[in-house]
A = this chain, B = another copy of it.
Amino acid sequence: MKNYLIAKSRRLRSTPYTSRIEKQGVTAYTVYNHMLLPAAFGSLEESCDHLKKDVQVWDVAAERQVEIVGKDAAKLVQLMTCRDLSKSKIGRCYYCPIIDENGKMVNDPVILKLDENRFWISIADSDVIFFAKGLAHGHKFDVNIFEPNVDIIAVQGPKSFALMEKIFGKKILDLKFFGFDFYDFQGTKHLIARSGWSKQGGFEIYVENTSSGVQLYDKLFEQGKDLNVKAGCPNLIERIESGLLSYGNDFDNNDNPYECGFEKYVNLDNNIEFLGKEKLKDIKSKGIERKLMGVILDLEKLSITKSLDIYEKEKKIGDLRSACFSPYFKKVIGIAMISEPFCKASQTVYLNIDGKKVSGKVCDLPFI
């Protein structure tokens, strides 16, 4: 595949860490929430290997926040998601499908409950802010909706715990998975969550004080030398192996949460009001016609730039949406939307790639 440059401009926003990652060897960007998100520091395979063994610091400022604050904040947040947040607690993160009037996916953010009337929606790549503004206006909600100045630094990998302990002390280790709290760095409080877009463990630092955040970014590298810390970014191989789905890649506004395997976040038996609830009840009672599944292909290299058709004999039964070579499986693995009754483990499939017939097998997610 030929390589193309990214044409930078103010519209593809830089982050407070951009000048740093460019010195640290970022080689490719993607664009996420109208912002530059590093996509590679040289070899994806070496980065994946390093992430699984050591610790990485990521510029994930592109995970933008939508702040919703005010008397009706909880009502508005609930209206957007099919996950029942009526018992949600301050200091916790909630992975929530955001749903439209047709029961289709709008986003799959992590929602942080900062206070009874104050939330941050930490969004995937779509403008949830305008969905919230539209709903608030129509429903005459008493809320304020804006993008706060928050630029996340993620610290990911098995040695992230040791690195964070060096800087924030032992108490950071008490933080439970998907919990968050405030921790001091040189006189500035930072919101830190035990979360992140890898399955290797770690933290996300929600930096509001930019100058303190930039100092903290540098401190992580200073203190992490003996832990073999490196600059990194969400890793395509690691996220596919782990079955971490990506809005826009694996699913989008044409798919419903059941098709995406999000059934445990769909709560229909209650009195809460949210968009698409009746549609989702209908889908649940009828059953879905297709589902996101893993596929393992007899192939050693594949770059996906758009959906690729998947066949069973001569019949198109689905489409491959993400893929990479996995050093662990020594094959190409991918995430595909596959129709009933073919969306079951061990189903044989094939694809036409560059004029060649490539065979593969369906499997459950995650791969590892």
- A interface list, Cβ under 8 A from B: 1-14, 18, 22, 26-31, 34, 39-40, 100-101, 106, 125-140, 147, 246-249, 253, 275, 303-307, 321-322
A12–B27 contact, CB under 8 A? no
Choose among B14, B26, B27 the residue that contacts A306 (Cβ–Cβ < 8 A).
B14
* Identical chains in the assembly: 2
A127, B128: Cα distance in complex, Å: 8
B5–A29 contact, CB under 8 A? yes
Which residue of chain B has the shortest Cβ distance to A11 in the bound complex? Answer: B248
A2, B135: Cα distance in complex, Å: 42
A14, B34: Cα distance in complex, Å: 17
A304, B115: Cα distance in complex, Å: 39
Closest beta carbon of chain B to A210's beta carbon, Å: 13
Residues of B contacting A8 in the complex (Cβ-Cβ under 8 angstroms): 1, 4, 303, 305
6 closest A-B pairs (Cβ-Cβ)? Answer: A138-B138, A134-B134, A11-B248, A7-B39, A127-B127, A130-B131
Which residue of chain B has the shortest Cβ distance to A44 in the bound complex? Answer: B7
Closest beta carbon of chain B to A48's beta carbon, Å: 15
A34–B125 contact, CB under 8 A? yes
A100–B4 contact, CB under 8 A? no
A147, B125: Cα distance in complex, Å: 17
- A sample of 12 inter-chain contacts (CB < 8 A) reads A2-B22, A4-B5, A6-B6, A6-B29, A9-B248, A9-B249, A11-B125, A11-B246, A13-B306, A100-B130, A136-B138, A138-B139
A6–B4 contact, CB under 8 A? yes
Closest beta carbon of chain B to A213's beta carbon, Å: 17
Residues of B contacting A10 in the complex (Cβ-Cβ under 8 angstroms): 248-249, 304-307, 321-322
A234, B246: Cα distance in complex, Å: 30
Residues of B contacting A137 in the complex (Cβ-Cβ under 8 angstroms): 101, 134-135, 138, 275
Closest beta carbon of chain B to A259's beta carbon, Å: 16
Which residue of chain B has the shortest Cβ distance to A131 in the bound complex? Answer: B130
Closest beta carbon of chain B to A182's beta carbon, Å: 27
A100, B262: Cα distance in complex, Å: 32
Residues of B contacting A127 in the complex (Cβ-Cβ under 8 angstroms): 126-127, 130-131
Residues of B contacting A6 in the complex (Cβ-Cβ under 8 angstroms): 4-6, 28-30
